């Protein structure tokens, strides 16, 4: 700290001591104070990561994206997740932000991606996923200059060039993405995802939907579902929310956004989704109102019919801590009395999306197959029968154990009456819709069943830890008193009963999940769960270890039957060896 000579020495010393007593300032706060010069790459990727997906920009720049994975068995599968805010400080905001269901998927598969992206994601993901791509950072002023003004600002650049561009209208944001796309198509078309079935159908830049933005902000599949659906912010990993977001507090009102990447990333390694610049989505703002479902038995929120302005997400540097939650939302008009709406806190980050119905025979066939239930797709014999025309109005040989939709196809093909055929085809579509919906529900139930089994294992581990503690007490001085020894032994007997019952319940759960899955391949489910429990905290580490044990137990039951998986074999996989000996010794 530089102190002018005319400052009294004591005052200088006092100021120095006061500064030392203040909490340590973050790197971002330091950047806010200094007109620091930055290398030019800090204006588009200050925190590089091996999984970054990069598109070139004019002036040798880049726009960096993160892939958001969504599990799906076919084109029409999507994932349900909870949006909005669970704990609303102001009940009047229920119409804006009450917790509600959202659904998410992506248009692209690995086969649609450029080779460098495909290899990165193949190394990261195991399982069947669909993808969309969201910008890792908010669009910066440097990127705006490169695209909109053609100004190639070389290194070093001021920190202002690495801050999110704000004060632009929806129309200007659209123009930015249009100009950038035209440049990409002219210079780097091979860097974009392209549908395998039709190379004319290519990925393009747009604003994210509210669902795309919020699912990514909550951490996507990199956050355990029990957390993502019940908490209003992603796991903090021992840090404070301020370590992830740029926002104002009662003691400090910020005057401008920070440089991109100045705080910690969320679990998807996306930066600045809490505060900094408020981000515009491509979704119309609608109120959330209560409605009835299940024949009037359940009240559920649904969007109101009036579409207003656009949704803004994430809050800004002017927002308070509670206003930067992923589920918070604001409405932004396109125009006001002065013209197109633009504010000093409004910025944006693009996504790469694509059309859902590319004009190709291959894609249309995938959509047709997606409309069929997965059970039917797994039955090649049934499909083969369904494609074999039967004599007109002849006797149809029905397979009682076949899939309902496939057997209906036989009857439809054997019917000569156009009226009857039309009615049957309508019924066939109803059956297919029902089976598809039932399959999705079953898919969710299997995943939740596996999660429940993981927590069953955790319960056994905790019981084993309690047992280990009691065993340690037995080794302490004074524990050889007969009365004390008998009391401790009885406690250990009680805990062994608890452990036995927990393990029996776990085995029952294993049996039930195998009955429900009926030969289902569990690998995609385990891949998703490993992604959710990928953090380094104790809970996630335990869940990964529990997953390994669960996979082993399911495989053993499939090969040898439930009778060959004893309680002792389960304990060997989930309880420490020293503790297991003590458990086995107690009678």
Instruction: Give the domain CATH number at 157.
Output: 3.90.1580.10
Could you tell me if residue 29 is inside a domain? Answer: no
CA distance 77 to 73: 6
- Angle at 127 (CA atoms; ends 371, 273), nearest 5 degrees: 95
Question: What is the arithmetic mean of pLDDT over 63-87?
Answer: 90
CA distance 35 to 55: 29
Between 9-18, 43-52, 203-212, 546-555, the lowest mean confidence (pLDDT) is in 9-18
Q: Tell whether 209 and 72 lie within a shared domain.
A: yes
User: What is the share, in percent, of the chain residues with pLDDT greater than 90?
Assistant: 46
Could you tell me if residue 8 is inside a domain? Answer: no
Number of structural domains found in the chain: 3
CA distance 195 to 130: 13
Sign of the Cα pseudo-torsion (150, 191, 53, 283, in order): positive
pLDDT category at 194 given cuts 50, 70, 90 is very high
Task: Return the higher-pLDDT residue of 299 and 232.
Answer: 232
Question: What is the arithmetic mean of pLDDT over 530-551?
Answer: 90
Q: CB neighbours of 99 closer than 8 A, spacing ≥ 6?
A: 82, 83, 84, 85, 86, 301, 327
Q: Tell whether 314 and 175 lie within a shared domain.
A: yes
Could you tell me if residue 104 is inside a domain? Answer: yes
pLDDT category at 479 given cuts 50, 70, 90 is low
Q: Tell whether 381 and 530 lie within a shared domain.
A: no
Q: Tell whether 470 and 388 lie within a shared domain.
A: no
The pLDDT value recorded for residue 371 is 66
pTM assigned to the model: 0.79
Task: Return the higher-pLDDT residue of 560 and 244.
Answer: 244
User: DSSP label at 370?
Assistant: H
Q: Tell whether 294 and 157 lie within a shared domain.
A: yes
Is 145 a residue whose pLDDT tops 80?
yes
Domain stop point among 432, 464, 485 = 432
Could you tell me if residue 387 is inside a domain? Answer: yes
Asked if residues 132 and 212 have their Cβ atoms less than 8 Å apart, the reply is: yes
Q: Tell whether 269 and 193 lie within a shared domain.
A: yes
Q: Tell whether 457 and 416 lie within a shared domain.
A: no
Residue range 158-180, pLDDT digits in tens = 999 999 999 999 999 999 999 99
Q: Tell whether 204 and 334 lie within a shared domain.
A: yes
Angle, helix 538-560 to helix 523-532, in steps of 10 degrees: 170
Is 390 a residue whose pLDDT tops 60?
no
Cross-strand pairs, 299: 292
Question: What is the arithmetic mean of pLDDT over 531-560?
Answer: 90
Q: CB neighbours of 398 closer than 8 A, spacing ≥ 6?
A: 407, 410, 411
CA distance 447 to 586: 36
pLDDT category at 519 given cuts 50, 70, 90 is low
Six-digit token pair at 74? 């076919």
Q: Give me the half-sphere count of Cα atoms (radius 13 Å) on the Cβ side of residue 388.
A: 11
The pLDDT value recorded for residue 535 is 85
Helix (H, G, I), strand (E, B) or coil at 64: strand
CA distance 206 to 352: 7
Q: CB neighbours of 239 closer than 8 A, spacing ≥ 6?
A: 264
Could you tell me if residue 12 is inside a domain? Answer: no
Could you tell me if residue 7 is inside a domain? Answer: no
CA distance 300 to 291: 5
Residue range 38-53, pLDDT digits in tens = 999 999 999 999 999 9
Is 360 a residue whose pLDDT tops 80?
no
Domain stop point among 330, 353, 376 = 353
Could you tell me if residue 571 is inside a domain? Answer: yes
Six-digit token pair at 495? 């805990």
Question: What is the arithmetic mean of pLDDT over 19-23?
Answer: 36
Angle, helix 380-387 to helix 404-413, in steps of 10 degrees: 10
Q: Of 345, 149, 370, 328, which Cα lies nearest the Cα of 254?
A: 345
Q: Tell whether 234 and 315 lie within a shared domain.
A: yes
The pLDDT value recorded for residue 393 is 58
Q: Tell whether 171 and 278 lie within a shared domain.
A: yes
Enclosing domain of residue 396: 361-432
Could you tell me if residue 572 is inside a domain? Answer: yes
Alpha-carbon Rg for the chain in angstroms: 29
Sign of the Cα pseudo-torsion (10, 15, 21, 26, in order): negative
Domain stop point among 323, 353, 383 = 353
The pLDDT value recorded for residue 8 is 42
Q: Tell whether 393 and 281 lie within a shared domain.
A: no
- Angle at 541 (CA atoms; ends 449, 466), nearest 5 degrees: 85
Q: Tell whether 240 and 383 lie within a shared domain.
A: no
Is 396 a residue whose pLDDT tops 80?
no
């Amino acid at each position: 700290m530089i102190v002018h000579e005319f400052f009294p020495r004591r005052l200088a010393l006092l100021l120095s001591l006061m500064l030392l007593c203040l909490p340590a300032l973050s790197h971002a706060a330091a950047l806010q104070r200094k007109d620091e010069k930055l290398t030019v790459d800090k204006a588009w990727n200050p925190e590089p990561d091996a999984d970054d997906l990069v598109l070139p920009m004019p002036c040798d720049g880049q726009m960096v994206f993160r892939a958001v994975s969504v599990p799906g068995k076919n084109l029409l599968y999507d994932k349900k997740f909870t949006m909005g805010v669970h704990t609303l400080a102001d009940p009047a905001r229920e119409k804006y932000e009450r917790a509600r269901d959202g659904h998410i998927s992506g248009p692209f598969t690995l086969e649609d991606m450029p080779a460098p992206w495909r290899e990165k994601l193949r190394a990261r993901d195991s399982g069947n996923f669909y993808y969309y791509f969201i910008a890792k950072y908010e669009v910066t002023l440097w990127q705006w200059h490169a695209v909109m003004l053609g100004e190639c600002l070389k290194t070093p650049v001021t920190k202002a060039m690495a801050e999110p561009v704000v004060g632009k209208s929806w129309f200007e944001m659209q123009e930015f993405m249009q100009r950038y796309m035209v440049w990409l198509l002219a210079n780097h078309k091979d860097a974009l995802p392209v549908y395998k079935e039709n190379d004319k159908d290519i990925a393009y830049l747009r604003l994210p939907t509210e669902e795309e933005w919020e699912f990514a902000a909550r951490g996507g599949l990199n956050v355990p579902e029990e957390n993502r659906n019940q908490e209003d912010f992603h796991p903090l990993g021992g840090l404070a929310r301020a370590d992830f977001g740029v926002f104002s507090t009662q003691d400090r009102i910020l005057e401008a956004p920070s440089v991109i990447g100045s705080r910690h990333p969320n679990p998807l390694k996306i930066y600045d989704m809490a505060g900094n610049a408020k981000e515009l989505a491509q979704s119309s703002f609608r109120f959330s109102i209560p409605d009835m479902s299940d024949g009037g038995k359940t009240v559920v929120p649904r969007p109101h019919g009036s579409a207003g302005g656009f949704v803004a997400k994430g809050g800004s540097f002017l927002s308070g801590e509670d206003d930067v939650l992923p589920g918070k939302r604001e409405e932004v008009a396109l125009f006001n009395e002065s013209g197109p709406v633009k504010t000093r806190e409004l910025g944006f980050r693009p996504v790469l999306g694509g059309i859902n119905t590319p004009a190709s025979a291959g894609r249309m066939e995938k959509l047709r197959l997606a409309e069929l239930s997965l059970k039917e797709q797994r039955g090649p014999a049934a499909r083969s029968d369904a494609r074999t025309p039967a004599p007109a109005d002849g006797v149809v040989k029905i397979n009682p154990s076949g899939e309902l939709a496939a057997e209906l196809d036989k009857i439809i093909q054997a019917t000569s009456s156009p009226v009857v055929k039309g009615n049957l085809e309508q019924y066939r579509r109803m059956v297919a819709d029902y089976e598809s919906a039932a399959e999705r529900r079953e898919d969710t139930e299997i995943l939740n069943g596996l999660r429940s089994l993981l927590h069953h294992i955790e319960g056994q581990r905790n019981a084993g830890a309690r047992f280990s503690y009691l065993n340690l007490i037995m080794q302490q001085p004074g524990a050889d008193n007969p009365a004390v020894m008998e009391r401790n032994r009885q406690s250990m007997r009680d805990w062994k009963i608890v452990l036995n019952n927990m393990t029996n319940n776990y085995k029952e759960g294993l049996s039930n999940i195998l009955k429900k899955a009926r030969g289902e391949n569990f690998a995609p489910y385990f891949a998703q769960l490993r992604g959710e429990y990928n953090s380094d905290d104790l809970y996630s580490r335990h869940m990964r270890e529990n997953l390994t044990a669960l996979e082993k137990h399911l495989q053993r039951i499939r090969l040898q039957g439930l009778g060959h998986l004893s309680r002792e074999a389960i304990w060997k996989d989930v309880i420490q060896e020293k503790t297991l000996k003590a458990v086995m010794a107690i009678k």
